[in-house]
Structure 1
């Protein structure tokens, strides 16, 4: 209990430390420049996977380094331990890249906590790299100590990552708990929706983005699945995609599919029809 209270107090302190902002913004700018390409952003965001890729990748370095430490503590084959440390080092690179991509779109306390999370992981990786080099020179005991220290730091950093995911809701699908509306619901007059116009309407308690494109009506949930941005305030492109004004995620209005991250979850699609001059919507 005391450990939990201490960790929560530490996290609150980090979140309030505005002195971290200059470093966070500078590093975030570098990350955004590096991930400007749509294929790169989609690959790191998990747009192709249907959820963020970073949490899944973290299992690889943590698992490899944890197994190496177990072998160290049980006096098993030193060569096997070194190979596991090396595997964790290799796996940490794409893990860090995916995490940096996700982190760059955060702000405020979450961004500050994420910066410390990243710094701790980077330090842990340096310790593991040093361990691998020391082991290669035959100093197994020193290498084992460095790996144990690095793993401890990684596990501490994982607590911060868990806080961001499960307490702050970072990376959580913001449309996950929207209600389903099975009955056709009147949302307005058909004559009021002009070509290319974006309209935010309510279907029950769910905000929906309604767009007329030619003779077709398209409707997707108006709350961006990534961080809850208002898609009705976003830019509608000639390619049939709407761009979230907060972090630049792009969704196809026809089916809600993700065309560019950082979003990884498609927007819920709504069925639309016109009856007696009125536009009716329901969950697809």
Structure 2
């Protein structure tokens, strides 16, 4: 069967290096008892190593040409090839509500959306591994105070321990992307409850980082109002990248109390 032509609008860059594919596949071994869902298998360069792990493997692929290729080349996967958009799927139905490991050579154009969906299903996904754009991987793994620390860093690290595993050259893909890639692993931490209003926490993180060069007292005014006495406190002279996750949780609680007292 002829090769699948990479489609730019789907963000497809097919990995050619089998050693790297094997290394990515091995990142799922921290949870050897769980089934695997691979997103965007393309022509199965990663799939061929995942199916050897004696575990249930399902793949989800949006590209009809790749689906046809997979059905032809991996007949044992026939009942486990899902032709669908991962971002629109109900993940609780995949493995009868059981947890699973998420992996893949993720399309660069939707990798952040994939991880936001992971967060929405964090009780189902104790481990997520795979390859993404190096810049995004660095943002996810960034510590407080760094230039790359931001929304993705905080929202993911609040629930997952992040490991930046290794960097991948652009020259091992067809077509070569314009940027380097990286492989990461995110493993659920022990946090079951942030200790604050999660919706407000997300709102504050996104609001402040959308104006990351401003002090908190300026970026958070739309939430608190310009007359709030909280804005005069020293904490609000900081910029968002200076705050740890715990400080954002404490900030969320302070803001919630203020809003509740104002609107009992």
> Which TM class, normalised by the smaller chain length?
under 0.3
CA radius of gyration, larger in: 1
TM norm structure 1:
0.24
More helix by share: 1
TM-score, normalised by the number of residues in structure 2: 0.25
